[in-house]
Amino acid sequence: MTVFNLRNLRLRSGEQFADAKDVDLEPLDLAGQRYLPVPATVPAQLSITRASTGTVFELDFDARLHGPCYRCLGDAVLDVPIRGREYEATNPDSEELRTPYLVDGKLDLSAWARDAIALALPDQILCREDCAGLCPMCGKDLNVEPHEHEEDAGDSRWAALAELRDRL
């Protein structure tokens, strides 16, 4: 867990602090699948700007996730550029004016990075854009072995209804 202590930082209105930080990334669990960041620690650019009404926090880094493809369950690698921004008012009156990552003068960079990655992910993580997925009949990977199944003849117990449908 990477935390940045703001207590030693003395900024006046209009001043900015910028520094490179190594941020520890946590694995993400999405739709019952685990996606691992590789590498687990990434270099990030942290920037803190003091405004007259509060503080603006910015975190920039690039993450790479490894995990299963949503369609074929094969290996998928996803590069995600992250550009996060948070705001904390000097005297916050509501939850909207405070960041959940700042507690007791400490900014939790790992939790912020995890949430920023989750928000930047596409709807489906795929091994490739044209992934064919798995065959719904036999479960084979259609990317490796494309095939089609013959139309199922159906259950013989329903034959009388099929004849009736054909006559109508």
Q: What is the pLDDT along the chain (168 residues), one digit of tens a residue?
A: 888 888 888 888 888 999 999 999 999 998 889 999 999 999 999 999 998 889 999 999 999 999 999 999 999 999 999 999 999 998 887 788 889 998 888 999 999 999 999 999 999 999 999 999 999 888 899 999 898 888 766 778 888 888 888 888
In a domain, 54, yes or no: yes
In a domain, 154, yes or no: no
In a domain, 21, yes or no: yes
In a domain, 112, yes or no: yes
Q: How many domains are contained in the chain?
A: 1
Close Cβ partners of 9 (under 8 Å, ≥ 6 residues apart): 17, 48
pLDDT of residue 153: 66
pLDDT of residue 152: 67
In a domain, 67, yes or no: yes
**CA 35 – CA 130 distance, rounded (Å):** 21
In a domain, 17, yes or no: yes
In a domain, 68, yes or no: yes
Which domain covers residue 73, as residue numbers? 3-120
In a domain, 108, yes or no: yes
Close Cβ partners of 133 (under 8 Å, ≥ 6 residues apart): 71, 72, 142, 143
pLDDT of residue 3: 87
Buried-exposed string 11-30: b where 16+ CB fall within 10 A, e elsewhere: eeeeeeeeeeeebbbeebee
C-beta separation of 125 from 70 below 8 A: yes
User: 157 vs 104, 134, 153, 162, CA distance in Å?
Assistant: 70, 30, 11, 10
Task: Report the SS3 class of residue 113.
Answer: helix
Close Cβ partners of 18 (under 8 Å, ≥ 6 residues apart): 45, 46, 47, 48
The β-bridge partners of 24 are 41
